[in-house]
Amino acid sequence: MSTPLFKRAAFIGIGMIGSSVARAVRTHEVAGQIVCADINAAYRAKALELGVVDAAYESPAEAAKGADIVILAAPVGANKSIMQVLGPTLEPGCILTDVGSVKQAVLRDVAPLVPAGVHFVPGHPIAGGEKSGPEVGDGTIFKNRWCLLTPAEGTAVDAIAKVRSLWESIGSNVEVMDAARHDRTLAITSHLPHLIAYTIVDTAANLETDIQGDVIKFSAGGFRDSTRMAGSDPTMWRDIFLTNPDAVLEIVQRFTEDLNLLQKAIRKGDGQTLFDLFSRTKEIRERVILAKQN
Amino acid sequence: MSTPLFKRAAFIGIGMIGSSVARAVRTHEVAGQIVCADINAAYRAKALELGVVDAAYESPAEAAKGADIVILAAPVGANKSIMQVLGPTLEPGCILTDVGSVKQAVLRDVAPLVPAGVHFVPGHPIAGGEKSGPEVGDGTIFKNRWCLLTPAEGTAVDAIAKVRSLWESIGSNVEVMDAARHDRTLAITSHLPHLIAYTIVDTAANLETDIQGDVIKFSAGGFRDSTRMAGSDPTMWRDIFLTNPDAVLEIVQRFTEDLNLLQKAIRKGDGQTLFDLFSRTKEIRERVILAKQN
């Protein structure tokens, strides 16, 4: 049996995404030891019970002791306070990475608290589910998905290579890119659709009770998909919107301009505009299928 | 073997939804003979080739000859012109129904053209896929889904009962309701989410080419779901928005008001407002799951 890529992997946060990565790391024998820290005692207990980790600590510093890779997997809003405690304890040569859905804010919050000799390679696996907690983690969700790495200029290339290997070992394709480019892209592929889904469901929640009952009862297709996304972890998503505001607001602005045009077409009975738009979007759909991301 | 519910079922339109119902009718032996009419010669040929129908005609009147149930399954915008030709040929005692996603407009367009002695029972099965054509029809999509019937006051109860039996035989639950209530409900459960999905994809299509490439490449989750809906048949959806404008515009207005509040919260960094909303929507999600529509 070959030597695992890492001696000890420490997950700071063992919720849905942390526990999914941990499971994948276990399955693919990427680390000799897998440990975690989490402020949530029930999460720690469950992760231990399920064998997702070999040890679970309340203190991030305890978890990171002797770790050659530390994976930040708490809501991105918690990174700064975690790093204020954890940062000084990280050992030279250690690799620090994360799984946050926004990257500029993570660099802004974390990079200044990374000690010399520790290699910070921010990452974002584009995968995940709507449920929360270590019991719903699923190590297979990274297979054939993208993981985007956004290390700052000057980061040690072998550290980046090791993080790339981690993700490739668990089935992902890796691309290294600029953090700003990441945030702009994810604003439309992920943040906007989630914001919209939350809004659709909230609009339904604000309807009169009798209509609301019908909406729940006869929900299928579009609304059901929206409710699925709107069932996502509130803390995680609050933090995403708070930490990627510029890109999100820009794309929401564009979206509302486009929606206004459609409202106008509907009001005026302009079938041609509607038909043309609906035909244009089929082409994007075909490209998504070709990119095998369907 | 018991006598089928209907002697001859005639489908006017044999696209995705028409051919799905036809397949289900065949499987569950609901009609002795199954025929169709469609203006699309390729659809007719394919439906015949696949055995979805026993005969396929260009003329709706030919298909409806001797039929005791006629199912309108073309885009709802075509109903008026179909009925102008078909209506006078329908035989007394025949039941006329449909599968359109809007009901007030269907009643408005079709009811005046229904001859005396023919029973018009509009219907809407809340099921369907994004693809088009008779080859993608799937008779199982109605199982455990709702079918909403919206007959006008005074419609013969035994005709309503027979249409109810048709849908129950192929696995659906049936509810009879007012057409206006139907349209208001579907505006939010279906029409708004589709409109939003089309808009999200169109916003992506209007981005600069380099970002667009990233959006396609790294699409997963929310955007991918939106593209799936935005790949739906342009004609069908154009007609839905043109024929349910009031309910759709009302719900889009409510939606944009709610979205504006969220934009403001993001701009102001108001995490509490975001968190509260995201928590509220989880409750709706739970109710959808309870209603077994997830």
- Residue A241, in any domain of the structure: yes
Mean pLDDT within B269-280: 94
Same domain, A189 and A160: no
Q: With cut-offs at 50, 70 and 90, classify the pLDDT of residue B1.
A: low
Q: Which of A53-62, B190-199, B207-216 has the lowest mean pLDDT?
A: B207-216
**Range of weakest confidence among A203-217, A234-248, A257-271, B12-26:** A203-217
Pick B206 or A95 by higher pLDDT: A95
Q: Please give the pLDDT value at position A47.
A: 97
Give residue A294's pLDDT: 57
Residue B191 sits in the same domain as residue B61: no
Interface of A with B in 15-34 (CB under 8 A): none
Contact residues on chain B for A184, CB-CB shorter than 8 A: 211
Whole-number pLDDT of residue B84? 97
| A117 and A259 inside one domain | no
- Whether the full predicted model's pTM is greater than 0.90, yes or no, is no
> Nearest-CA distance from A188 to chain B in Å?
7
Q: Which among A197, A211, A262 has CB closest to B195?
A: A262
The yes-or-no verdict on residue B232 having pLDDT over 90 is no
pLDDT tens digits, A177-214:
999 999 999 999 999 999 999 999 999 888 877 788 88
Domain finish residue from B145, B177, B209:
B177
Give the domain extent around B39: 6-177
**pLDDT > 60? residue B236:** yes
Q: Are residues A169 and A195 in the same domain?
A: no
**Residue B115 and residue B201 in one domain:** no
Task: Mention every residue, 6+ apart, whose C-beta is less than 8 A from residue B2.
Answer: none
* β-pair type (B123-125, B146-149): antiparallel
Domain limit, last residue, from B177, B196, B227: B177
Q: Does residue B173 sit in the same domain as residue B190?
A: no
Q: Which residue of chain A has the CA closest to B261?
A: A199
Output the pLDDT for position B140: 96
Q: What is the pLDDT of residues A119-167, one digit of tens each?
A: 999 999 998 777 889 999 999 999 999 999 999 999 999 999 999 999 9
Q: Are B146 and B196 found together in one domain?
A: no
To probe the interface with B, which of A146, A215, A251, A264 has the most B CB atoms within 10 Å? A215
Which among B186, B200, B219 has the least Cβ separation from residue A288? B219
Question: Do A253 and A122 sit in the same domain of this protein?
Answer: no
What is the SS3 assignment for A59? coil
CATH number at residue B207: 1.10.3660.10
pLDDT at A219: 83
Residue B75 lies in a domain: yes
- For residue A174, the chain B residue with the least C-alpha distance is B218
Min Cα distance A225 → chain B (Å) is 8
Partner A contacted by B240 (CB < 8 A): no
Q: Determine the pLDDT at residue A35.
A: 98
Task: Return the pLDDT at A38.
Answer: 98
Give me chain B's average pLDDT, please: 93
- Assigned domain for B59 exists: yes
Do the domain assignments include residue A1?
no
The H-or-E segment that residue B197 falls in is helix B192-205
Say if residue A158 is in the same domain as residue A63: yes
Burial level of B290, CB count in 10 A (0-12/13-18/19+)? exposed
Q: Cβ separation of A188 and B207 shorter than 8 Å? A: yes
- Segment 210-229 of chain B within 8 Å of chain A by CB: 211, 214-229
Share of chain A above pLDDT 70, in %: 98
- Residue A260 token pair: 């206004």
Which range is least confidently modeled, A112-126, A212-226, B162-176?
A212-226
Question: Which percentage of chain B shows pLDDT scores above 70?
Answer: 98
Q: What's the complex ipTM?
A: 0.86
Q: Which chain B positions have a beta carbon within 8 Å of A231's beta carbon?
A: 281-282, 285-286
Q: pLDDT value at position B167?
A: 98
Residues A13 and A149 in one domain: yes
Q: How many other β-carbons are positioned within 10 Å of the β-carbon of residue A256?
A: 17
In a domain, B274, yes or no: yes
Domain boundary, last residue among A131, A160, A177: A177
Q: A with B: how many residue pairs have Cβ under 8 Å apart?
A: 295
At residue A293, the pLDDT reads: 57
Domain count of the fold of chain A: 2
A124 φ, ψ (degrees, to nearest 5): -150, 105
Residue B131 is predicted with a pLDDT of 84
